[in-house]
């Protein structure tokens, strides 16, 4: 059986991106691998073995075109309102909290936030299937 291990996104400013993911989600650098043309940074925290891989292409000066195919990353938290308030307090501008009810009676509560490169991250309350 396959095991998901990481997701990769391309970012332009290493220090700004690393600071964002640390402040927002407690992700720390697990490994940093520097090549001539690019750098790979693997971020994780103690909640999961899953890693976020940041790729910094050294010749990229313009913002990346995220296109219309990218969806979002997702994280889960215990106390949605508390996390929303914390992120707002440190200036990361989370969007409004929303709820989405499924036809079978479950409800997902969430909000979105964007990283410095415009990637959307969904912050879900831990409930139902979002653990």
Please indicate whether the domains covering 1-60 and 71-131 agree at the CATH topology level: yes
Number of helices followed by number of strands (H, E) in the chain: 2, 8
| pLDDT tens digit sequence for 42-92 | 999 999 999 999 999 999 989 999 887 788 999 999 999 999 999 999 999
The catalytic residues are: 122
CA 44, 131, 92, 8 torsion: positive or negative? positive
Q: Encoding tokens for residue 53?
A: 């891989």
The CATH architecture one would assign to domain 71-131 is Roll (3.10)
| pLDDT tens digit sequence for 79-127 | 999 999 999 999 999 999 999 998 889 999 999 999 999 999 999 999 9
| pLDDT tens digit sequence for 26-41 | 999 999 999 999 999 9
Residues contacting 128, CB < 8 A, separation 6+: 106, 107, 108
CATH superfamily of 1-60: 2,3-Dihydroxybiphenyl 1,2-Dioxygenase, domain 1 (3.10.180.10)
């Amino acid at each position: 059986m396959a095991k998901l291990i990481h997701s990769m996104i391309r970012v332009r400013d290493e220090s700004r991106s690393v600071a964002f993911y640390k402040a927002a989600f407690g992700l720390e650098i697990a490994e940093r691998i520097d090549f001539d043309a690019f750098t790979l940074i693997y971020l994780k925290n103690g909640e999961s073995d899953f890693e976020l891989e940041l790729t910094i292409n050294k010749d990229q000066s313009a913002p990346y075109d995220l296109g219309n195919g990218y969806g979002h990353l997702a994280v889960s938290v215990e106390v949605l309102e508390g996390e929303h308030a914390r992120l707002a307090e440190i200036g990361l501008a989370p969007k409004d909290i929303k709820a989405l009810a499924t036809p079978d009676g479950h409800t997902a509560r969430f909000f979105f936030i964007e990283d410095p490169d415009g990637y959307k991250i969904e912050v879900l309350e831990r409930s139902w299937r979002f653990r």
